[in-house]
Structure 1
């Protein structure tokens, strides 16, 4: 009952926080029967909400035991189906109680419920799949063994991809992998249970690597981010993919990562030189405080008509922008500052803190405004209409602000063009050289892929 009551609130929260949440391969999830969702974990408490909102099943999930810090919280979390895990680094003396955890998960699976597990253990924002713990395989196989392999437990890998996990109104893309059917491992498990657990865990790791735009080497994160900034849009157009499709966007990122890994192995010197050149270019952009978009040859030309449109939008939209700021700015900024302060450097927790603190502050702030408005003598209908404008006005203000920042970048670009024209020409030439090198590398890479596929 409580789960069904709170789930719409949580789903509303993440839909307000993120601009879009897209789901791929949802048809791979069985509508009935016991399932274990095993997902990567870059964003603490947001990750379980994303999977729960995307999978179409009721799920319970495992959480560290330290969250159950008093009797009320323990009751609340247990009622929601959350099961405590006693980890060595934060509950060393209580690790014997993990037998209770295993028993609870078995009961959930025996009732044909869904479980959500984050096999990496800890939540980290890096674009890396860390070493997986064996819990998902052990729980699934343990439940099957207890029930003579009659449950038909399936492990569903889930890859969660954020465009910018801590940024308000960014995008999320959740991808589900092919089910790992534990009944297929019955004979292996009965012969050697531990090697079977390790085999399934390794299969799960490979699945999560395919489902996420993660790198195998943490040191490659920055270069992948730079390549996405410089080359992603051009690749999308060249390969005939849809710029608005989150699935195609993921494929491009994944292709960039795979190509980088191939060149690092097969052409290490070229790769090192290319990295150095790209980092120099990105550093120059930072010093000039301009974006790569303004140097891209693929950008459409800004005509006089477009400039008039931009000015018209900025002038006409300004009063609504101010209105949205008055209504929303204070709780928006306070929640952001409180979130950063409260996580104490734990970046992966910023989004969940922003969302929970923000929900509380916005509810309080909106209620206060509504009370003041009603005390001024306005009718219920006018008060309701007034309230209905709060969120749309806030979204418009954010959109207006980003448009204004973009136009400011245009002005900044023109200023640099007139004041530092030679430097700008050098920057454009450097970018063209990088793009030409990347295009040649792309052709070499695809030729090699075709050659390998023909053998």
Structure 2
């Protein structure tokens, strides 16, 4: 085990780009992510290294992430990744058979030690990431690790496997995202001792099947039939569950993702009719659904205008340059969001250093002056939130000017869709 100094540094640096890019984070089923016991989180993997950020930096739990083994090939990369609570798991294509076996054996030893300390381990059961709303075939690694830990502890370790669905509303190049995490009923490995001893393969298949069932229930799938309608419904569900003030929202998601995924032609037709009516009325679903507005962020942005708005402008320019660089240099779209966050962390560090230098050189040397730096940075984040909400505000003027009959018609169409998802 190595020192985790990099994790604590990066966790704090990430607050700035993540605060600018992520609109809201929903965590549901948090009671299933048990405390005081070892937990193996079996998650979907739609967005590369960004997925680990959600659990390691937003869940407020101690979580170690399993990542592709070839990323650890260089000694420096190996040290840095481990210091960020990332551990290697080798697939057949990540290394030669001997290296993969020895690497995985070492990782199993580390996992066992982490589980004994009652830490959480994050595994992506699909095995690979791709930034789209679809599920890839699941691998058997989750069940294999659970069985191995049970055998190593002589079935005394109280390990829980928690199937977990991780959703994003959008991927690169869209900047603003809402994230939704659903923890499902955990699988208590101790309850399957006899099954593991008599037929370990059946246990592994059972774990994979339970994880698949959880993903089918709460992972948004739009690829395939009715893609446009399902994408719209995903946004509608986010609007329906929107809360103005909190950034993290726990256990308050109201609509069924499984019903959205199972959309039939009748529901799709209702969605198309509603979408067409919105276009004709030139308003948004957020207006019809009476979605709130983050007035607190707007107030903070306005109060700090003199110091936060210039930072917002510089930061926005850096994000645009960031996008251009990522598009030009990273042809593989799998890593673009993760790289954007990584570069954004570097930009955030430069912003902080620049503000420190400017403060030291040009402002009076009073202790309270230094408090302006975090205030200005948070004000800049609030400007990002205000800019993201501008289309909603602009269309709200149109919505308020519509007559009651038109509004009632749109509300009725929307309610039919919402009712179908309850």
TM bracket, shorter-chain basis? 0.7 to 0.9
Corresponding residue of 1:146:
152
- Does residue 333 (structure 1) correspond to residue 325 (structure 2)? The answer is no
2:342 maps to 1:356 = yes
Distance verdict in 2 for CA 1:221–1:294, change over 3 Å: closer
Q: Distance in 1 between matches of 2:62 and 2:175?
A: 27
CA drift of 1:171 comes to 3.1
Q: Does 1:292 align with 2:284?
A: yes
Deviation at 1:247, TM superposition (A): 6.2
State the distance in 2 between where 1:218 and 1:56 align. Answer: 35
More helix by share: 1
1:323 is the counterpart of 2:310: yes
User: Is this contact kept in 2: 1:29–1:55, CA < 8 A?
Assistant: no
Is 1:16 aligned to 2:8, yes or no? no
Which deviations, in whole Å up to 9, do the C-alpha atoms of 1:219-265 show, x marking residues without a partner?
344211223456876xx5xxxx88669568743252xx51662x63x
Query: Structure 2: where are the runs of 5+ without partners?
Result: 292-298
Deviates more, 1:163-172 or 1:153-162: 163-172
Q: What secondary structure does 1:184 align onto?
A: helix
- Alpha-carbon distance in 1 for matches of 2:68, 2:377: 35
Where structure 1 has 5 or more consecutive residues not aligned to the other structure, the ranges are 301-311, 418-423, 450-455
Please show how residues 40-79 of structure 1 align to structure 2 within 5 Å.
Answer: 40-79=44-83
Residue matched to 2:29: 25
Q: Which residue of 2 aligns with 1:367?
A: 353
- Does structure 2 conserve the Cα–Cα contact (< 8 Å) formed by 1:86 and 1:92? no
Cα–Cα, structure 1 residues 259 and 149, in superposed 2: closer, same or farther, change >3 Å? same
Q: What TM-score results when the alignment is normalised by the length of structure 1?
A: 0.72
The separation in 2 between residues aligned to 1:143 and 1:294, in whole angstroms, is 47
> Which has the higher Rg, Structure 1 or Structure 2?
1
Deviations 1:9-37 (A, max 9, x none): 42562452424334333333333233211
Check if 1:134 corresponds to 2:140: yes
Q: How does 1:408-419 map to 2 (within 5 A)?
A: none
Given the superposition, is the C-alpha separation of residues 230 and 96 from structure 1 closer, same or farther in structure 2, using an over 3 Å criterion? closer
TM-score normalized by the length of structure 2: 0.76
Which residue number corresponds to residue 162 of structure 1? 168
Distance in 2 of aligned mates of 1:70 and 1:5 = 17
Q: Aligned pair 1:252/2:259, yes or no?
A: no
Q: Report the Cα distance in structure 2 between the residues aligned to 1:165 and 1:250, rounded to whole angstroms.
A: 21
Residue 330 of structure 2: aligned partner: 343
Question: Offset at 1:272?
Answer: 6.4
Distance, in Å, in 1 between the alignment partners of 2:268 and 2:251 is: 28
1:222 equivalenced with 2:223 (yes/no):
no
CA RMSD of aligned residues (A): 4.2
Question: Is the contact made by 2:65 and 2:85 (CA closer than 8 Å) also made in structure 1?
Answer: yes
Higher RCO (CA 8 Å, separation ≥ 6 residues): 2
Structure 2 match to 1:91: 95
SS of residue paired to 2:232: helix
- Is 1:203 aligned to residue 210 of structure 2? yes
